[in-house]
Amino acid sequence: MDINYINNLLQEGKSVKDIRTILGVGEKSFQKQIKQLGYKYNQKIKQYEPFTGAGASPITKENSIVSNKNDKGMILDIQIEGLNKETFKNNIIDLAANYERIKNMLDDYEHTNSIHAQNEILEVNTGIKIDSPEGEVERTTVRISKDILLKWNKFCDKNKQFSKKDLLGQAMIEFIQKYDK
């Protein structure tokens, strides 16, 4: 997020709400980012200025974007329908600012959803083993006794580390293996 860009929009007569809309950022997120950059809004001059009071983040090279007032910004040859250049520029800046978090999320996702992880047998201290074979999931309705359903829901509540789908699937697999002779 570029404070100089935001202050220029304010000088042009845009409101903070208009700027949030242009940037595609919610109110709380916007305020948090401004605070992290070490700035606060000065109502008298209608500009963001460095904030060094109590609770302010120290202004450092790492958390502040310094730009030359004569700088025209990024040169963009990309045109995306329904997305203006400034919004695109700010989205790219936000992605770059959050690169490590996004990369970590993708790494975690790939790890937990890899082919090996899907075929793994999960075991926890309770001794429950979930063998999750790959396959298409199908929705169905089953009629069951109210008492059995209550016991089932209590059992699932005690084993929240597993989904009801996985627990039911494993129970069915074990039942078939035990009685299908």
CA dist 181 and 32 (Å) reads 63
Q: Tell me: the pLDDT tens digits for 37-55?
A: 888 888 888 888 887 655 5
Q: What is the pTM of this model?
A: 0.32
pLDDT of residue 146: 93
Token digits for 108? 């975690």
What residues contact residue 160 under an 8 Å CB cut-off, 6+ apart? none
* Non-local CB neighbours of 96 within 8 Å, separated by 6+ positions: none
- Residues in CB range of 65: below 8 A, 6 or more apart: 1, 2, 3, 4, 37, 93
Q: 76: which 2 tokens?
A: 């963009």
